[in-house]
Chains A and B, each alone.
Chain A
Amino acid sequence: EDQVTQSPEALRLQEGESSSLNCSYTVSGLRGLFWYRQDPGKGPEFLFTLYSAGEEKEKERLKATLTKKESFLHITAPKPEDSATYLCAVWEDTGRRALTFGSGTRLQVQP
């Protein structure tokens, strides 16, 4: 049973076309939810951490929000350089310090 599910698996946008990526999770207790960006052949790049429902964080064209069951990564007026795989990960309240990752959303922004 997947604990972290990301949708859609792939998304193709035109430059300037805003959209949202979804990360839903089914864990007993959430200590933190993380968003990363990964370019081909590279390690994930840290974007945001969200610790409690209702929290929002922004960075340039990206805005992450968190509810008790899911997180959204909103991309406003994307540019081709935003093309990447976006990963979300959860840190569960089990006393175990390990992130559980979703399978990611591959975003392609066309000029």
Chain B
Amino acid sequence: KAGVTQTPRYLIKTRGQQVTLSCSPISGHRSVSWYQQTPGQGLQFLFEYFSETQRNKGNFPGRFSGRQFSNSRSEMNVSTLELGDSALYLCASSGGDRGTYEQYFGPGTRLTVT
């Protein structure tokens, strides 16, 4: 079974621009979560999507948004980029069942904001 894929793997943007990252979950998984990883803050939860609906949201500003499509693929958008948005953005998929929550991560997108 193919794992979680993320595109692009690397991205360089300028402050003020916006960016869209893409994630394809494991086949059959309906839940997609996004995390930001930085050396200073570690892994922090951004949001979770299930069946095209945002089910949970972390403590990030409104510049961070996402969506999920009917095939469970998800996109994350960051508008008006700031230098502090430079990070590894990780997508994780899970089955979405209420009782279990194993999340499987993709390789990440390394975003550098200059």
Contact in complex: A46, B103 (CB < 8 Å): yes
Chain B nearest CB from A45 CB (Å) reads 7
Partner of B101, one of A45, A87, A97: A97
Report yes or no: A98 in contact with B45, Cβ–Cβ below 8 A.
yes
Q: In the bound complex, what is the Cα–Cα distance between A100 and B50 (angstroms)?
A: 19
- How many residues from B make CB contacts under 8 Å with A? 24
Min CB–CB distance B56 → chain A (angstroms): 5
Q: How many A residues face the partner with a CB closer than 8 A?
A: 23
A78 at interface by CB-CB < 8 Å = no
Name the prevailing secondary structure of the A interface residues. Answer: strand
Q: Which residues of B contact A34 (CB under 8 A)?
A: 101-103
Per-residue B-contact encoding for A45-81, CB less than 8 Å = 1, 0 else: 1100100000000000000000000000000000000
Q: Which residues of B contact A41 (CB under 8 A)?
A: 110
* B25 → chain A closest CB, angstroms: 13
Give the 8 A-B CB pairs with smallest separation, nearest first: A43-B105, A101-B43, A98-B45, A44-B105, A103-B42, A43-B107, A43-B108, A91-B101
CB pairs A–B below 8 angstroms (26 shown): A34-B102, A34-B103, A43-B90, A43-B105, A43-B106, A43-B107, A45-B105, A46-B102, A46-B103, A46-B104, A49-B100, A49-B101, A49-B102, A97-B31, A97-B48, A97-B55, A97-B101, A98-B45, A98-B56, A98-B58, A99-B103, A100-B45, A101-B42, A102-B42, A103-B42, A104-B42
